[in-house]
């Protein structure tokens, strides 16, 4: 395996530089999907760094799902698609109130376009699966369960688009906003939310794209308003507690 493509790097921030260099080589196609990368010793010599530094970079890339080690056979490049970039983004996010609003605004755009695409492309059989989520949402009295079925409904809509960015985005949104949205449902109840989900489903079944988009936008706007109120009350409570401490 030729190592002439690998250039030695500076010793400053060595571990990060090795990681970035290896990542760029994979993204640029120097090491292709399914191909075995050079051994740790070969990488150490090529980069002119310690073996431990190489090992750190390989472990980091493996944790991101970019590389996979096969016992006794070496380390290979896994498939990289658009969802890979989202996997890199998530660990760097530290969710604040402002972040949660931005994420909900992002979700609103994704979901509005998702229902438009689903109305045009999805089969009746695929669309009917939404009813199973609605049935579960209507029957459960547990807010944690309701939230799971609720997000299942939204994630399934994104899956029906076939757009990997939409799909991965919804998976991330579900993880990031789980506590916030669950608590909001518990506080406000699920009646209005369920009605909006049912109406959106009905519009989708009728292939009424504009109507379905309108309902989804109204639903997301309701969530945004409730989130803003929730954050506002939380901030007021925190200020009162701080005032009491003083």
Closest CA to 77 of 25, 33, 17: 33
pLDDT at 94: 47
Q: Tell me which range, 14-28, 38-52, 57-71, 114-128, is most confidently predicted by mean pLDDT.
A: 114-128
Q: Tell me the per-residue pLDDT of 30-75, one tens digit each, with 9 for 90 and over.
A: 999 899 999 999 999 999 999 989 998 998 888 777 899 888 889 9
The pTM score is 0.64
**Stronger pLDDT, 206 or 4, i.e. the higher one:** 206
**CATH number of this structure's domain 14-80, picked from the four choices 1.10.10.10, 2.40.50.140, 2.60.40.1480, 2.60.40.1120:** 1.10.10.10
Q: Which fold has domain 85-245?
A: 1.20.120
Q: Tell me the per-residue pLDDT of 160-203, one tens digit each, with 9 for 90 and over.
A: 999 988 998 888 788 777 777 878 888 888 999 999 999 999 99
Residues of the chain with CATH 1.10.10.10: 14-80
| 3-state SS track over 70-115 | ECCCEEEECCCCCHHHHHHHHHHCCCCHHHHHHHHHHHHHHHHHHH
pLDDT at 240: 60
């Amino acid at each position: 395996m030729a190592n002439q493509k690998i250039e030695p790097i500076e010793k400053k921030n060595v571990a990060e530089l090795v990681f970035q260099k290896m990542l760029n080589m994979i993204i640029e196609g120097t090491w292709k999907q399914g191909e075995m990368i050079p051994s740790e010793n070969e990488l150490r010599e090529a980069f002119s760094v310690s073996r431990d530094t190489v090992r750190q970079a390989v472990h980091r890339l493996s944790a991101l799902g970019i590389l996979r080690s096969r016992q006794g056979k070496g380390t290979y490049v896994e498939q990289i698609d658009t969802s890979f970039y989202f996997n890199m983004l998530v660990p760097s996010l530290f969710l604040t109130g402002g972040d949660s609003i931005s994420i909900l605004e992002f979700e609103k755009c994704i979901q509005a376009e998702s229902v438009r695409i689903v109305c045009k492309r999805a089969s009746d059989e695929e669309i009917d699966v939404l009813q199973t989520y609605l049935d579960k949402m209507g029957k459960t009295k547990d807010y944690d369960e309701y939230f799971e079925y609720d997000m299942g409904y939204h994630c399934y809509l994104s899956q029906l688009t076939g757009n990997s960015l939409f799909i991965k985005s919804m998976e991330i949104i579900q993880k990031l906003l789980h506590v916030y949205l669950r608590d909001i449902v518990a506080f406000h109840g699920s009646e209005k939310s369920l009605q909006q989900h049912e109406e959106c489903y009905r519009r989708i079944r009728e292939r009424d794209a504009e109507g379905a988009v309108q309902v989804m936008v109204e639903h997301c706007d309701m969530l945004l308003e409730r989130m803003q109120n929730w954050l506002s009350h939380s901030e007021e409570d925190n200020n009162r507690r701080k005032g009491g401490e003083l």
